[in-house]
Amino acid sequence: MGKRVAWITGAGSGIGEHTAIQLAREGFLVVLSGRTQEKLERVAEKCSPTASVKVVDVSNFSDVSRVFNEIIAEHQRIDLLVASAGLNIPNRNWHNIEAEGFDEVVKIDLNGVFYTNKLAIDQMKKQKKGLIVNISSWAGKYVSTLTGPAYTAAKHAVNALTESINMEAGHLGVRACAICPGEVATPILDQRPIPVSQNDKGKMVQPEDCAMTIVFLTRLPERVCINELTISPTWNRDYIARLPEQIPKE
């Protein structure tokens, strides 16, 4: 068998970008997908010569199918899918979220995961092996007003969707892991209603930390499945906010 093939969505920035770079260093052929050609090409340069760019809107099943079919035609396989495409919106809470905004989040963060996963699973069953990594969130485990109902609901659903893959296809060689990061210093933070300071960003999990975690998953024996993995900042703002007054926060 030749080089392993990895398909990364949301590869133009953040976790997806750094994952693509790390996987290329690990010897994967990386297929970079996202909505912006220029961003993907910039990342591909960092992954050269083992990268290709395929623009896709993960909220559109026909578009996802087109890219998937191109990958199979070119490489005949997909060994790893990293579903990293995701977004949130500034008006995200019950008092200001609109139906259009809710739909936008769910279409990308949940439907997009389902579309890519569905196609990858079918191929991986034929191969009798394959790894799917879905980038969920701390918000997929814990309900918070910080992320809002759309993002929180979508990420909870991603966790359930991921485990259902292991239940139905694990015995056929398909492994799936939902990675649930706490606060990560990625561009999605810029969509928050309250800006995050550079000082706080520096204390958060960095996208390259998540990328290293994904590399760890790829190095495990095929007999091992990490169903869900939580990664959070040591300096966790959620924990600090809950500290009793008698415990120093600095």
pLDDT tens column, 167-177: 999 999 999 99
Cα torsion through 182, 90, 40, 197, rounded to 10: -60
pLDDT-derived band at 249, boundaries 50, 70, 90: low
Query: Is the whole-model pTM more than 0.85?
Result: yes
Q: What is the pLDDT of residue 30?
A: 98
pLDDT at residue 211 greater than cutoff 80: yes
CB distance 120 to 58 below 8 Å = no
CB distance 106 to 123 below 8 Å = no
Can you tell me the mean pLDDT for 206-232?
98
pLDDT winner (highest mean) among 171-175, 189-193, 196-200 = 171-175
Q: What is the pLDDT of residue 191?
A: 72
Least confident of 64-78, 85-99, 229-243: 229-243
- CA dist 175 and 39 (Å) reads 30
- CA dist 77 and 98 (Å) reads 40
What count of other Cβ atoms lies within 10 Å of the Cβ of residue 146? 20
**Domains in the chain and their CATH numbers?**
5-241 (3.40.50.720)
What tokens were used for 195?
């800006």
Higher pLDDT, 196 or 206: 206
Least confident of 128-137, 159-168, 177-186, 236-245: 236-245
- CA dist 8 and 2 (Å) reads 19
